[in-house]
């Protein structure tokens, strides 16, 4: 995991570069389908540096993330023949089957939760495509989940400044896991 922390730090340094806005959009797109670093590490410092542009950044990140999610969906829809042998080879077949069952029953809610939570969103975009989830529902859930997450990050930074920025990542992860636990409790109580 140390490599991921170093990678997050390097991405955060991009906030001061002249082409930070296209980098932010590209990072948002990539993270939704194949890249491991969330756009928050670039979104938060850019918003801190330019608070009046924060809401614009949140909109850009949300749109790019949903488009990236669509790309992940297409990977799952058309690339499962290539991915399926790897899932079995790496021993994830039973986990994948469990996720498939959850998608069958709670598809839109799982995508919405994954869009907001610290769970890697790309796993759910690819699975949504592999499960041939309704594309309009997938896009709606992605828009709401991702939008809520990124606008919340910007709100933390704009209203709390640098002090809250330091706490933001820690609290976003906690809040995301709290939502996952609530969803799990709901699932266990009703089934």
Each residue's pLDDT expressed in tens, for the chain with a length of 191 residues:
465 456 555 656 666 677 888 988 998 999 888 777 788 888 888 888 788 899 999 999 999 999 999 999 999 999 888 877 877 777 767 767 777 787 888 878 888 888 887 777 888 888 899 889 999 999 999 999 999 999 988 998 888 776 665 555 566 566 666 766 776 676 677 66
Among positive and negative, which fits the CA dihedral 143, 62, 98, 169?
negative
Cα–Cα distance between 4 and 26 in angstroms, integer? 18
Q: Tell me how far apart the alpha carbons of residues 41 and 18 are, in angstroms, rounded to a whole number.
A: 17
Phi, psi (degrees; rounded to nearest 5) at 102: -65, -40
Distances in whole angstroms, Cα of residue 47 to Cα of each of 43, 119, 133: 6, 23, 34
Please tell me the number of Cα atoms within 13 Å of 94 on its side-chain side. Answer: 1
- Token output for 72: 């992940």
Number of domains, the chain: 1
- CA angle 28/104/83 to nearest 5° reads 55
Domain span at residue 151 reads 2-190
Q: Which residue has 């949140």 as its token pair?
A: 58
Structure tokens at 44: 């938060």
């Amino acid at each position: 995991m140390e490599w991921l922390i170093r990678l997050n730090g390097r991405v955060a340094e991009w906030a001061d570069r002249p082409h930070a806005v296209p980098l932010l959009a590209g990072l948002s797109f990539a993270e939704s389908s194949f890249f491991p670093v969330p756009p928050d590490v670039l979104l938060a410092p850019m918003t801190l540096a330019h608070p009046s542009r924060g809401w614009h950044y949140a909109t850009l990140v949300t749109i790019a993330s949903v488009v990236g999610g669509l790309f992940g969906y297409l990977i799952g829809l058309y690339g499962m023949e290539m991915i399926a042998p790897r899932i079995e080879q790496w021993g994830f077949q039973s986990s994948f089957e469990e996720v498939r069952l959850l998608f069958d029953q709670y598809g839109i809610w799982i995508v919405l939760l994954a869009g907001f939570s610290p769970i890697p969103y790309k796993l759910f975009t690819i699975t949504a495509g592999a499960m041939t989830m309704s594309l309009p529902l997938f896009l709606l859930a992605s828009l709401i989940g991702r939008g809520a997450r990124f606008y919340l990050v910007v709100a933390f930074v704009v209203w709390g400044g640098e002090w809250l920025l330091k706490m933001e990542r820690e609290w976003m992860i906690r809040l995301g896991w709290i939502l996952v636990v609530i969803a799990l409790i709901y699932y266990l109580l009703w089934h």
